[in-house]
Structure 1
């Protein structure tokens, strides 16, 4: 009797498991990549067909012309010179912004009185549009790379400051008191409380600050520059060269994806070393 009632339940379970496996296969990484490729191919095909008859070709160009401009950009010495200038400015500005924001966040978060005094002033300065500061930095640092680096530094610095500052304020006071009661010194607080607490906000600020640094550099190169991808984009817009404009945007997208990929890899590696990665839940097969 038990076997008779158990058999339909077992068959139903096997059907559900088989359906779930088929769903997992359809949602696998390879399938997702293939679907993305199909979407991109459809968009490019529609773009190629509609450019001219429906969309103004001078404004959107064609994928074939964009590809030719991209090959020309990557095959010329001037193109790589612009890419190198932008990369150097982004990396320098991003690195300086991360260090500045982290130091400010640690100092003001560790000294509550200084935080209460200076945090509203920092918030007021953060309210100024960053691109509005570009002419001021250009007057102070000139048209060279330093004006772009300082503008690129501002965005990541503010993001890092607030993540670290609020992360320190949100530290679990009970953990701090427990470590202190057990005789822990500042080094123990740093290793067992502060670093695990700030790890996730720190890497979240890195991922957010990267695109902000690129945005700052491109905006500053738009305003005044003699080299860089922003300078090339501005020149292409003035010449109504949509193909070169899209080619420069593709390079910027690639730069953003590479930077985000590196930061994501660093995030996963650091959190894994700190033992902060979430544990995977056991499957139904493992329970059985």
Structure 2
């Protein structure tokens, strides 16, 4: 009768597979624990909010979670609420996109021409020092209370962040790598593909993640000052009417919009770095 014998190679493969399953199960358990703790913290905060509203903190100032949920349901169930969300989303998307393009072009131009960078960088820094919300009245005079005034406020916040990341990334580009590529017969597009883009990838996507909240801040600030629709307009109206429940409902909408934008940028960051071969690699585990 033939008997099955296990070779050292098969035993090693089985042990490695078992180890991988254990590590996967451990990561899943850790993820479940973290999510459960987050939900527990949120639930505790809501319970404390509900209990303390009235006896400890004035209810007119903070409302209650139950009232906020009703206001949020009313906001999402009305056509005017979705109109405000749509208007604000368009303004944020347009301001963010234009700001990224403008900041990237400015950074590439001033970073590629050192003389222009030395001449114009102090002027850019001086303009960047002006609080963006202080420019809102000026944009309102130029573009009115329509969406373009809010878009331009968002552009000013995003473009400077992207500009500085791209500009400094170009300045920190290793000259030796450029010279090596050129010595090997590489041309401008080779330097761009092998040196410039990998060098700028990380700071560029870091600028995108920083610029997203700035775009939201600029749009909401502009809608606070003067607007006829938008989430910021709804927040301002609720504050003037001392309607705390609707105020918190609008804030929840802003939080969700921020999370969506950040999630999209994170996915774009991960995908782009992976395509460029710049994603972090896990250290090899000893066998």
TM-score above 0.5:
yes
Partner of 2:253: 251
The 5 Å alignment of 1:105-254 reads: 105-254=107-256
Runs of 4+ in 1 over 6 A off after TM superposition: none
Partner of 1:75: 77
Give the structure-2-normalised TM-score.
Answer: 0.90
Cα shift at 1:27? 6.6
The 2-side partners of 1:172 and 1:124 are apart by 28
Cα shift at 1:25? 5.8
Cα shift at 1:28? 1.3
Moved more, 23-32 or 259-268: 23-32
The 2-side partners of 1:29 and 1:209 are apart by 29
Partner of 2:9: none
Cα shift at 1:183? 1.1
Partner of 2:263: 261
The 2-side partners of 1:186 and 1:212 are apart by 34
| TM-superposition CA deviations, 1:26-63 (whole Å, max 9, x none) | 97111111110000000000000110011100000000
Cα shift at 1:95? 0.2
The 2-side partners of 1:165 and 1:150 are apart by 22
The 2-side partners of 1:29 and 1:131 are apart by 40
**What root-mean-square deviation, in Å, do the aligned CA atoms of Structure 1 and Structure 2 show?**
1.6
- Structure 1 unaligned spans of 5+: 1-16
Give the structure-1-normalised TM-score.
Answer: 0.90
Cα shift at 1:226? 0.1
The 1-side partners of 2:280 and 2:236 are apart by 45
Does residue 47 in structure 1 map to residue 54 in structure 2? no
The 1-side partners of 2:248 and 2:68 are apart by 6
| TM-superposition CA deviations, 1:152-185 (whole Å, max 9, x none) | 1111100000000000000011000001111110
- Structure 2 unaligned spans of 5+: 1-18
The 1-side partners of 2:263 and 2:200 are apart by 21
For residue 240 of structure 1, give the secondary structure of its aligned residue in structure 2: coil
